[in-house]
Amino acid sequence: MSGNEMKYISDAFETNWIAPLGPNVDAFEKEIATYVGVNEAVAVSSGTAAIHLALSLLDVKRADKVFCSTLTFVASANPILYQGAEPVFIDSEPETWNMSPQALEKALKDAFNDGKLPKAVIVVNLYGQSAKMDEIVSICNQYDVPIIEDAAESLGSTYKGKASGTLGKFGVFSFNGNKIITTSSGGMLVSNDVEALKKARFLATQAKDPALHYQHSTIGFNYRMSNILAGVGRAQLEVLEKRVQARRSLFDRYYQELYFIPGIQFMPELQQTQSNRWLTALTINEEVTGTSVHSILNALSEENIEARPVWKPLHMQPLFEGVKCYPHSENMCVAEKLFDTGLCLPSGSNMTEEDQSRVIKCMKELLKIKV
């Protein structure tokens, strides 16, 4: 926590605004919209809810197709199933670890030839790094397919001077407990389409028709953020830039201490972008290091250090068995290779220098580098 949360929480209690509406919600939406530079924002219960609302606004329904990055958390794709639609997964590319424009172009060309273009493309900005949005936007514009930019992990990141999450039709942020700022649980849907987000608010509050009695003409959701949690978010937003600086400093120190080790490669940062470095991620070449990711994870765990592999690609998940995935190239699935070789190191904004030194020391010992 930033230390200023109780001011906004107390305001909510003192004014008796406890429900999923109120001054903190209104202010948090305006502050996020101003920070990222869009016309409108809607505070909701999770990033997943924001994606679901975006798909609903784009009229995604049963038997429709939605393309989605495969190297991501399952929450990026679950809302496709909520709508009864069919996901198609798109591989990563090496320079950002995000959606491959090359694979996307092939997938859209095939879909066009089949007469079944997707209703949307969900592009995920992995671990804070923006995808190659210029290329992706250009390809999608050729086929008039809207983009949902899943920026759940990349609030505070920029792409060619623009805020992450603002380059598609809709942008999505998450304030889950593990994100760079948190409201405990929560999310935000952003867009320059004010009318669409007006409808999003309607859908997110059970789609109540304007009548004194409770009347409903369409399916709605209970997705609005509480005024208390929005207060937490307002205090967190005040320190977002400090959090980005802290995460980038952690990354820089890991890099300086470990980059020279043969067989280690850190997640790249695309030119003209700035990642919030939500997590410090790297790959381990077992043939060079003589040590596998699995061995490193186990050894770190024995030292009470929690590290994780990178996301397991969605096309490899039992939930999505049989779902088509377009690879980056004919002979290489980048996402699968990253899953086999990728590792995320402890990266909390409040991580002490002492704790980071302990992680670095363990990594060097595991990779047989004299400490």
* One domain, residues 105 and 194: yes
Domain range spanning residue 305? 240-366
Same domain, 253 and 186: no
Please report the DSSP string for 190-225 in residue order: EES-HHHHHHHHHHHBTTB-SSSS--BSS---B-BP
Same domain assignment for residues 260 and 352:
yes
Same domain, 225 and 284: no
CA pair distance 89, 244, nearest whole angstrom: 30
On whether both 193 and 253 belong to a single domain, the answer is: no
C-alpha triplet 44, 152, 129: angle, nearest 5°: 160
pLDDT digit string (tens) for 278-329?
999 999 999 999 999 999 999 999 999 999 999 999 999 999 999 999 999 9
| Residues 146 and 15 both lie in one domain | yes
Residue 205: both structure tokens together: 């509050």
User: Per the structure block, which two tokens stand in for 139?
Assistant: 């390809």
Domain closes at, from 199, 214, 237: 237
Same structural domain for residues 247 and 355?
yes
Please tell me whether residues 216 and 261 are part of one structural domain: no
Percent of the chain's residues with pLDDT above 70? 99
Question: Any idea what DSSP says for residue 76?
Answer: G
* Residue from 302, 310, 299 nearest 341 by CA: 310
What's the domain count of the chain?
2
192 within domain boundaries: yes
For residues 124 and 180, membership in a common domain is answered with yes
Let me know if residue 33 belongs to a domain. Answer: yes
Condensed to tens digits (0 to 9), the pLDDT of residues 243-284 reads 999 999 999 999 999 999 999 999 999 999 999 999 999 999
Q: Are 65 and 42 in contact (CB under 8 A)?
A: no
Query: Does one domain contain both 324 and 272?
Result: yes
Question: pLDDT of 204-216, one tens digit each?
Answer: 998 888 888 888 8
For the chain, counts of helices (H) and of strands (E): 13, 15
* Same domain as 187, residue 244: no
**In this structure, is residue 371 part of a structural domain?**
no
Regarding beta strands 158-159 and 273-274, do their DSSP bridges make them parallel or antiparallel, or are they unpaired?
A: antiparallel
Query: 328 Cβ partners below 8 Å, 6+ apart?
Result: 91, 92, 93, 94, 100, 102, 103, 334
For tokens 């070449």, what's the residue? 285
Q: Which of 26-30, 81-85, 324-328, 364-368 has the lowest mean pLDDT?
A: 364-368
Chosen domain end from 237, 265, 292:
237
- The reply to whether 321 and 257 lie within a common domain is yes
Average pLDDT over residues 344-360: 96
- Residue 336: predicted pLDDT: 97
Share of residues in the chain with pLDDT > 90 (%): 92
CATH code where residue 15 lies: 3.40.640.10
Residue 305: CB atoms within 10 A of its CB come to 16
Domain end among 179, 202, 237: 237
